[in-house]
Amino acid sequence: MRWVRPFSVAMAVLCAACAMPESRLPDLPRDAVAAEQRAQQIAQLRQYYAELRRVDAVAFRLRTANVADCKDWVSAQIGLYAVTPRSLPRRYQSYTAEALGIGWTRPTAISVAGDSPAAKAGIRTGDEITALNGELIPVWGTAGWMRRWLKANGTKPVAVNVRRDGDDRVITVTPVMACAIPITYVVEAEANASASDTKITINSGMAALAYTDAQLALIIGHEMAHANLGHLGKQRWNQLVGTAGGALIDVGILAGGVSTSGAFARQFGKFGARAYSVNFEREADYVGAYYAARAGYDLAGAEEVWRRMGMASPANILPNYSHPVTAARFVQLQKVTAEIAEKKRRHQPLVPELKYVTVEHDPAPEEATSMKF
């Protein structure tokens, strides 16, 4: 840009009097820095996709095992994620082909979830996927196009044109119905995950705390439970109730001649949003554990993840208004794991009990009513 040079000259003049480091620093050859920059970008993208494959694989098992709980938000899927460099964000495009070993002209499978219809039919990571039932797959917006195509197709078998090592073949894949809430995996060091009205987001810092796939299944299952149980809507409702209550007080005080400028409405709204927040979190942990168990994950010892969370974010060891303390989550998970193991032993369906489990009392699963929610 034209102004950059005058700007740096001005800075240099201005900073003639600035304090400077005393050491004589080595020269930094521009080429060496650029080459290292590219090497780091490639390594980062490879690591990202390796981690994404793990998240995808665990999520796919959760999606299919819990399809009945996802209500209307389900679609036919085959557990395959294919891209071209063009279908990815522009900032990756210059090095995606090299990083992932994929071509520009045909979409390539970069994630095939284990046990998914695509994997069972023999499609592998690295296969070029060129057409579905003879329809060419676009090289732009590839994943979204395939998602929509499969959704419209339903569970009817699909002829997938696959090119592997230069050989063309047609592989028939039968899609299955699965939970369709999108899951975004982001490189973010903070140990966090979230569910909004439209998607689940898993931070890499959170996935890194999950040493086992069972623990990752608990994390994703927790967010799926938030979405399926409508927690966000319930929290908004509580906020509305709080705001309305506070507004009544504001009006009352105003009638007495003092303006509060809506302070009570704002404050009560906040309290409303926090009402039951801790129990919503506990419920998401509880139901999410059932999701993970239904997907076939063994939860024995998985509670360790809450100790690691306490180490990574010490604030979570102490009480706060939004989340249960990590110790409570640890103990609850031990109890839920025992509850699920007992149901398995009795050959009972893995259906969560319809009331909150408390840390202090045994949930006595055989006495409580058990029904689908």
Shortest distance (Å) from residue 306 CB to Zn ion:
13
Closer by beta carbon to Zn ion, 121 or else 218: 218
Stretch that binds Zn ion, among 26-34, 116-124, 258-266, 275-283 (CB under 5 A): 275-283
- Give the span between the Cα atoms of 348 and 358, in whole angstroms: 22
Closer by beta carbon to Zn ion, 191 or else 284: 284
Stretch that binds Zn ion, among 112-120, 200-208, 273-281, 347-355 (CB under 5 A): 273-281
Residues in contact with Zn ion, shown as a per-residue x/- string from 278 to 297 under the rule CB under 5 A:
---x--x-------------
- Pair of tokens at residue 170: 């047609």
Shortest distance (Å) from residue 241 CB to Zn ion:
21
Place of tokens 């490879």: 46
Stretch that binds Zn ion, among 18-26, 111-119, 132-140, 274-282 (CB under 5 A): 274-282
Residues in contact with Zn ion, shown as a per-residue x/- string from 78 to 97 under the rule CB under 5 A:
--------------------
**Strands of the sheet with 193-195, listed across from one edge:** 183-186, 200-203, 193-195
CB 324, CB 282: distance < 8 Å? yes
Closer by beta carbon to Zn ion, 127 or else 281: 281
CB 251, CB 262: distance < 8 Å? no
CB 210, CB 193: distance < 8 Å? no
- Give the span between the Cα atoms of 81 and 60, in whole angstroms: 11
Contacts of 332 (CB under 8 A, 6+ apart): 282, 285, 286, 324, 357, 359
Closer by beta carbon to Zn ion, 79 or else 324: 324
Contacts of 59 (CB under 8 A, 6+ apart): 113, 183, 220
Stretch that binds Zn ion, among 139-147, 257-265, 276-284, 360-368 (CB under 5 A): 276-284
Closer by beta carbon to Zn ion, 112 or else 220: 220
Shortest distance (Å) from residue 278 CB to Zn ion:
10
Task: Count other C-beta atoms under 10 Å from residue 66's C-beta.
Answer: 23
Binding site for Zn ion (CB under 5 A): 281, 284
